[in-house]
């Protein structure tokens, strides 16, 4: 089904061609994999950018859940919600995060930045004030170093919006520059989210220039209600679909291809 949808999108929409020998793999998220016919670059920094109510956090959690299922190590930097709330969202998607947090064979690590923002003492091993970017950079390095295979790590940061709003544009850009260099030197991966309406277009463009890939999400008001669309406007080292493609969102299934949703409903 997924392959059929990808072929349909490739034939109907705009496909950006790239030429590189980067390793690529499926994310396990059908909606994203359908937009990347040849796979997702295994070592990349990707920005998930979209309007409010598009499901940016849902997509990040979905990518994290699928990465854990594949045996990858995940570091989740939480700036917009408590880690326990994120754990509950992961459970709704059918994965128990505590199974991946067992001492001695831990695959999932949280960096709690949200507790500092709301004045609550964190219960996580790693926590930091996101306004102290130098210290946060050190904590990220420590968390990433927990993995035995640095090239098999996914860093998820939700969200870059909060980081910039709290710390300012220039310091946040310096932090992002250092973070990207760190991710690339370790041959790890990173995915972060950003509200595309929160900042001046020049700031948005500068951030897009820094990263390897950009997944855009938007919502439109129609006579039938809200309609959501997604596209991959940039993905270094991978062929990608740049056409706006409709999708649906579900708390237990994440982002859903409309054809897939109807198929699931018929089978129930």
Q: By mean pLDDT, which of 12-21, 35-44, 48-57, 214-223 is the weakest?
A: 12-21
3-state SS, 53-104, equals CCCHHHHHHHHHHHHHHCCCEEEEEECCCCHHHHHHHHHHCCCCHHHHCCCC
The whole-number pLDDT of residue 56 equals: 96
pTM, two decimals, is 0.88
The whole-number pLDDT of residue 146 equals: 83
The whole-number pLDDT of residue 265 equals: 45
Fold designation for 2-267: Rossmann fold (3.40.50)
Is residue 159 reached through a cis peptide bond, with omega within 30 degrees of 0 on the bond before it?
yes
Q: Is the pLDDT of residue 268 over 50?
A: no
Q: Is the pLDDT of residue 171 over 70?
A: yes
> For residues 197, 200, 205 and 210, what is the CA-based torsion angle, rounded to 10 degrees?
-90
The whole-number pLDDT of residue 264 equals: 42
Mean pLDDT confidence for 195-214: 95
- 202: Cα within 13 Å, side-chain hemisphere: 2
Q: For residues 43 and 51, is the Cβ–Cβ distance under 8 A? A: no
Q: Is the pLDDT of residue 19 over 70?
A: no
Q: Residue 216 pairs with which residues in a beta bridge? A: 49, 231
Tokens, residue 140 = 């990220």
Q: For residues 57 and 222, is the Cβ–Cβ distance under 8 A? A: no
- Between residues 96 and 22, which one has the greater pLDDT? 96
* 13: three-class secondary structure by DSSP: coil
Q: What is the pLDDT of residues 208-266, one digit of tens each?
A: 999 999 999 999 998 888 899 999 999 998 899 999 999 999 888 899 988 654 444 44
- Enumerate the H helices of the chain as residue ranges: 2-12, 30-35, 56-69, 83-92, 114-118, 133-145, 160-167, 169-186, 201-210, 258-267
Mean pLDDT confidence for 67-83: 96
> For residues 106, 108, 112 and 115, what is the CA-based torsion angle, rounded to 10 degrees?
-90
The whole-number pLDDT of residue 226 equals: 87
* 238: three-class secondary structure by DSSP: coil
Q: What is the pLDDT of residues 104-154, one digit of tens each?
A: 889 999 999 999 999 999 999 999 999 999 999 999 999 998 887 878 999
CA angle 147, 175, 33 (to 5 degrees): 60
The whole-number pLDDT of residue 16 equals: 61
Count other C-beta atoms under 10 Å from residue 152's C-beta: 19
Strands 126-127 and 108-112: parallel
Q: Where are the domains of the chain?
A: 2-267
């Amino acid at each position: 089904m997924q392959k059929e949808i990808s072929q349909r999108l490739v034939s109907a929409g705009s496909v950006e061609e790239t030429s590189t020998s980067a390793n690529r793999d499926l994310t396990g998220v059908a909606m994203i994999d359908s937009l990347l016919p040849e796979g997702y670059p295994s070592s990349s920094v990707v920005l998930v950018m979209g309007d409010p109510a598009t499901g940016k956090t849902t997509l990040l959690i979905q990518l994290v859940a699928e990465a854990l299922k594949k045996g990858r190590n995940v570091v989740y930097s939480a700036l917009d919600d408590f880690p326990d709330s994120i754990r509950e969202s992961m459970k709704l998607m059918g994965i128990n995060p505590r199974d991946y947090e067992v001492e001695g064979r831990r695959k999932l690590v949280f960096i709690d930045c949200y507790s500092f923002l709301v004045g609550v003492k964190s219960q996580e091993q790693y926590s930091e004030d996101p306004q102290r970017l130098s210290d946060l950079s050190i904590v990220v390095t420590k968390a990433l170093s927990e993995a035995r295979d640095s090239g098999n790590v996914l860093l998820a940061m939700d969200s870059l919006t909060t980081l910039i709003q709290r710390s300012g544009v220039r310091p946040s850009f310096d932090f992002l520059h250092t973070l990207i260099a760190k991710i690339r030197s370790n041959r790890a991966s990173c995915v972060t989210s950003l509200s595309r309406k929160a900042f001046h277009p020049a700031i948005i463009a500068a951030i897009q220039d820094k990263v390897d890939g950009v997944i855009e999400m938007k919502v439109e008001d129609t006579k039938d209600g809200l309609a959501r669309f997604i596209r991959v406007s940039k993905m270094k080292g991978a062929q990608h679909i740049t056409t706006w493609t409709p999708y649906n969102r579900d708390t237990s299934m994440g982002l859903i291809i409309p054809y897939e949703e109807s198929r699931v409903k018929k089978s129930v």
